[in-house]
Amino acid sequence: MNDLGRLEDLPPDYVAALRAQNLVPLWPSLRAVLPPIKPLPQTRATYWSYASLRPLLLQAGALTPIEKAERRVLVLANPGHGLEKMQASPAIYLGMQLLLPGEWAPSHRHTPNAVRMIVEGEGAYTTVDGEKLPMSRGDLILTPTGLWHEHGHDGDQPVVWLDVLDLPLVHYLEASYHINGARQTVKPGAADRRYARGGMLPTPGFQRAGSAYPMLRYPWVEARAALLSLAGELAADEPVQISYVNPETGGFAQNILAFYALMLRPGQTLQLPARSPSCVFHVIEGDATVQVNDQRFTLAPADTCCAPGYTPVMLVNLSSDKPAFVFMADETPLHQKLGVYETRD
């Protein structure tokens, strides 16, 4: 119960005098910014069906040429924050991006970090800092802050990927901007093969990349194989999950958001604890339900949902004979840097 004084209890002339000097009394709003026990999130548990949005995305391709769109994206907006805010959670932006055969999305760089989780299609690529990275379903591609990147398509079918950015945070900090650039010159690079096997590096003469992001493409074929191998080593009730990390440091792949791949065994039910960061779930293979409090979403391949922080989540693989694979993104690195990360039973 809020037993603090209300703004309405103050004389209007006193409130007017405060506002004339850009002053605000704290006590009427104290519980809104410091609620008891746990936060009161604006983020709502929200679900986006790929089967429903895909026709609208393809229609966008017919309505708006890439030259006018630059990046042809439908934003997965959380109604709890207001659709105009274009954010899925406090620090996560999600968008489904379309590239049609023969198109080229011009080179630019920006302050927000981004990753691309490839949803469908073959033949497209992203060039990041001069390294040409092929895009196949389930691949994770980094486009970190400040690095030049562009997208091209040499195939014959539409290619779609899920964009995940820390844009809401960078925009809130008034640090968000972009710079356009010229088409990049491609240079040799295959870090995804150089770092493909844990504990093994090429020799002789191996040197660290000297880059904060030595690996920009994480192929799904390798991530899937790692999950299947891990499942054989763990007890049946243990979660089968891997983290996408910097291969030279073992730290998070990027510095604000974290990314994971999770395998649900056939018929498995997995209870995730309530943690402080919000989380995004995107199905790569299989069918699963995601339950957030009293809301339950049934996800088919390429479907996406999000859950607010401080909320337990239950995942269920709907197949009794096939595994399901889920990509996850959350705000763990940010919370850890701020010292607010916590897990609750």
Highest mean pLDDT pick, 28-32, 33-37, 138-142, 196-200:
138-142
Q: What does the pLDDT read at residue 142?
A: 98
pLDDT tens-digit readout, 171-189 = 999 999 999 999 999 987 7
Q: Write the pLDDT tens digit of every residue in 148-164.
A: 999 999 999 999 999 99
C-alpha to C-alpha distance for 236 and 29, rounded to whole angstroms: 48
Residue 93 burial (10 A CB sphere; 0-12, 13-18, 19+) = buried
Residue 38 lies in a domain: no
Interval 117-135 mean pLDDT: 96
Q: What is the pLDDT of residue 1?
A: 47
Q: How crowded is the C-beta side of 36, counted as CA atoms within 13 Å?
A: 3
Q: Rounded to 10 degrees, what is the CA torsion of 167, 85, 99, 164?
A: 40
Q: Which among 44, 48, 46 has a CA at the least distance from the CA of 57?
A: 48
Contact 101, 157 (CB under 8 A): yes
> Cβ(243)–Cβ(258) under 8 Å?
yes
How confident is the model over 235-242, as a mean pLDDT? 93
Q: What is the mean pLDDT of the chain?
A: 94
Model confidence over 54-86: pLDDT tens digits? 999 999 999 999 999 989 999 999 999 999 999
Q: Return the bridge partners of 53, or none.
A: none
Least confident of 116-125, 200-209, 219-228, 279-288: 200-209
Q: Which of 105, 98, 243, 80 is nearest to 168 (CA)?
A: 80
Identify residue 227 by its one-letter amino acid code: L
- 195 φ, ψ to 5°? -110, 25
Q: What is the CATH number of the domain that holds 267?
A: 2.60.120.10
Q: What is the pLDDT of residues 246-255, one digit of tens each?
A: 998 999 999 9
DSSP code at position 27: G
Residue 30 within any structural domain of the chain = no
194, 260, 304, 340: CA torsion to nearest 10: -140
Number of domains in the chain: 1
pTM score: 0.94
On the question of pLDDT at 3 being above 90, the answer is: no
> In the prediction, which pLDDT does 345 show?
77
Domain that holds residue 160: 46-198+212-344
Residue 20 lies in a domain: no
Say how far residue 261 (Cα) sits from the centre of its chain.
12
What pLDDT is recorded for position 237? 86
Q: Which residues contact 33 (CB under 8 A, 6 or more apart)?
A: none
Could you give the percent of the chain with pLDDT greater than 70? Answer: 97
